[in-house]
Amino acid sequence: MKKLISSIRSSLAIQVLIGFALGIMAGVFFGEMTSSLEILGTAYIRLFQMPVIPYMLVSLIAGLGKLNFRTAKSLGINAGLTLLFLWAIIIFILIVYPLGFPNWQSASFFSESLVEPTKKINFVELFLPSNPFSAMANTIIPSVVTFSIAVGLSLIIVDQKQAVIEVMEKLSESLLIITRFVAKLSPIGVFAIAANAAGTLRIEDFGRLQIHIILHGLISLVLSFWILPGLISVCTPIKYKDIIKEIRAALVTAFAVANLLVVLPILVDSCKKLIDNIRPQNEKDLDQSKIEDSPLDVIIPASFNFPNMGKLLSLAFIPFAAWYVGTPLTPSQYPTFIVTGVPVFFADGTLGTTFMLSLFKIPLNMLNLYITVEVFTGRFGTLLAGMNTVALGILSTCAMQGLIRFNKRKLIRFTITSIIIILVTLGSVHLIFSYVFPEKYTKNELLANLELLRVRDPQPSKVYTELPRARQGAKGIDSNSRLDLIKNSKILRVCYLDHAYPLSYRNNQGNLVGMDVEMSHLLSKDVGVNLEFVPLDHEKEQDLLDFAQLAKRLDSGYCDLIIPSVPLTPRGEAHIDFSHSFATRSLGFVVRSEQKSRFSSWQNLQAEPNLKIAIPTRNSYYISKVRGLLPKANLTPITKSIRDFFATDFDQYDALVLSAETASSYTLLYPSYTVAVPQPSVKFPVSYILPENSSELSDILNVWLKLKQADGTMNSLYNYWVKGNVKSTLEPRWSIIRNVLHWVD
């Protein structure tokens, strides 16, 4: 027992594993109660990030500055080319990585990232800082790397530089001391992160996370035990079995402790032995000075200043995160992904991932999932980093000492075999999870099961399915006495449109719900009257902007207000009134998933002839608006409900015009389609429809809308119905304390 306790105390790796296991157990036991540990996990992450950029700065300067010009030139050519070749391998892996994602249907609620302008990268600004201190303060990592390399290279030709290099090395050591101290807190930090993740992560979320964990692990093993050692054996006289035999202990240790630094001396020594074993047969061809002075002592330590394959494989989380949220990276985004991702990952993986998530407008809450899966994938990444260090050291040294031996036939056969193994690995995961363990798509049920959020005890209301009689006293009503009619009858009548997701629709329980339905409930409650919902013509959804028809409903007294909210237009003023605009919506298109990149900009669309676009309105103002944006397109007003259009007519068109907010809801119901918002985004104001000249009712409604905007009601309903922030309404995650012991409700 004492020996076991002693082993635990002496091994940080074991402590971290115990912290992780206890965190999982705590999450399963306490469930969502562990969400309070999030702040502890966040503090731990920030402590780890604190010394990263300063350490990168001083270590790069010291590592390059202490070289002489001849060594630097030789290393720069041979090690640089080898490093680029290894990067080329991992870049290929990153490009084909999404082939492993299964054919699981995915969609998401509306996100602000859909309508935000595409973030254009200024590569001059990104890589060449005018103010390096500003770059460090704003974590512009590529600029920091460029500055550090420039200073390090300039030190090579500076006289009496040793004092500066010693200062940099001491600073590097002090920053490592900080990192080691924080590392001692890892059991606590990992416990907090694991407990929060296990307590709040829902089973359906883990179903997708396992895809990345499995893919990352399998690819790491293939690279570590086939491609990299195989590449060494093909390009040098070193045999595959000798490589594995010599370095396996170091790789296992690196995997166990998830820290490559601790095995650095072992890796250098192992690489020297492997190269020494092939020297006798080539000794006559070598320069004696090269034999005595091994460049491995410089190459392997210096390699820590550059992202290795293990760290770069972490970039695969970005396309995975995009797939996870239902907006996979398009082919046109991959050049930016690769060109930006490699320099960004010169720094800490968490910092680089944060930057990349922001760049591609992927929700930043995915960072928590990245940290969670890194507990699993980080060890495989360290294993791959160890093998990458060995490959870089041996291949670079052999290149400098003339030991590279190319067998064209063997190299071609090895390359083809390696590509096949990678593709088979990815394809197997894809097929197994697509057809053997498929995931059931449930987000359509989430939308269909939503209930009213803030109206727990609504005013008495009645929902008509057919047109009722007009209220007593409504016949021949004067517009200015509309408010008197509402007060006298104690009834506010609202005309609603069914299937107007997410503003007014019927859920699976048959209840009328939606953002504008809930707003109507709140209005009736605040005004102090009962509420009745009267249907518009279900067969004529396109008539929502046919103001002459709507005016008849309003003037006859069948209703006092019409939902859902509609775009403002000058043509409606002759028949009806609008409330003040209380929100803006963005013009978007529902398109087939593979066509999303085609609709990325108005400029691209305007150059395309014969686009077939369906638009669910006959209102000439908005038809003219879209036609002005797309003069070459064929616009067709549809004459049936949007749901019927999806079911029967969409194949005849390239896209359907809707607001991006409404379009996102429909993609939840029809996940084979997606939302495209051409840039720059086009916005339009929306409001509610009122009877013509109903000034008193209009004044009350406008004041009430301002109040609901000011007190956050409208924002909270928008987040719930449109953006899908429904966490507060879901059943608490299963936990032992709640569902087994019943100690808490």
The pLDDT-based confidence of 1 (bands split at 50, 70, 90) is low
Q: What angle do CA 113, 199, 717 make, to 5 degrees?
A: 40
Residues 569 and 708 in one domain: yes
330's tokens? 């398009």
SS3 content of the chain, % helix, strand, coil (to 5): 65, 10, 25
Q: What is the three-class DSSP state of 105?
A: coil
Q: What is the three-class DSSP state of 614?
A: strand
- CB contact at 8 A, 348 and 52: yes
Residues 697 and 548 in one domain: yes
Residues 488 and 571 in one domain: yes
Residues 643 and 703 in one domain: no
Residues 603 and 558 in one domain: no
Range 520-526 average pLDDT: 92
**369 found inside a domain:** no
Q: What is the three-class DSSP state of 141?
A: helix
Strand 683-690 with 583-592, pairing = antiparallel
100's tokens? 């492993």
Higher-pLDDT residue of 111, 387:
387
Q: What single-letter amino acid sits at 141?
A: I
The terminus-to-terminus CA distance of the chain in angstroms comes to 40
Range 720-732 average pLDDT: 81
Residues 540 and 590 in one domain: no
- CB contact at 8 A, 251 and 379: no
Residues 680 and 691 in one domain: no
Q: Could you give the CA distance from residue 92 to residue 525 in angstroms, rounded to a whole number? A: 60
Angle between helices 69-96 and 408-431 (to 10 degrees): 40
**544 found inside a domain:** yes
**99 found inside a domain:** no
**355 found inside a domain:** no
Q: What is the three-class DSSP state of 508?
A: coil
Q: What single-letter amino acid sits at 629?
A: L
- pLDDT > 90: what percent of the chain? 26
Domain that holds residue 623: 585-686
Residues 458 and 552 in one domain: yes
Q: Could you give the CA distance from residue 369 to residue 373 in angstroms, rounded to a whole number? A: 6
Residues 552 and 589 in one domain: no
**30 found inside a domain:** no
Range 513-539 average pLDDT: 88
Q: What is the three-class DSSP state of 463?
A: strand
pLDDT at 480 over 60: no
Range 465-488 average pLDDT: 71
- CB contact at 8 A, 588 and 581: no
- CB contact at 8 A, 643 and 501: no
The CATH number of the domain holding residue 633 is 3.40.190.10
Which pLDDT score is estimated for 476?
53
- CB contact at 8 A, 470 and 557: yes
Range 40-47 average pLDDT: 79
pLDDT in tens, 577-623: 899 999 999 999 999 877 887 888 898 899 888 899 999 876 677 88
Total Cβ atoms within 10 A of residue 170? 12
With a CB cutoff of 8 Å and minimum separation 6, the contacts of 262 are 253, 254
The pLDDT-based confidence of 542 (bands split at 50, 70, 90) is very low
- CB contact at 8 A, 593 and 733: no
**148 found inside a domain:** no
The pLDDT-based confidence of 291 (bands split at 50, 70, 90) is very low
Give the count of domains, the chain: 2
Residues 453 and 500 in one domain: yes
pTM of the model: 0.74
pLDDT in tens, 144-173: 878 887 888 888 888 888 888 888 888 878
Residues 612 and 713 in one domain: no
**329 found inside a domain:** no
- CB contact at 8 A, 531 and 494: yes
Residues 572 and 704 in one domain: yes
**572 found inside a domain:** yes
The pLDDT-based confidence of 284 (bands split at 50, 70, 90) is very low
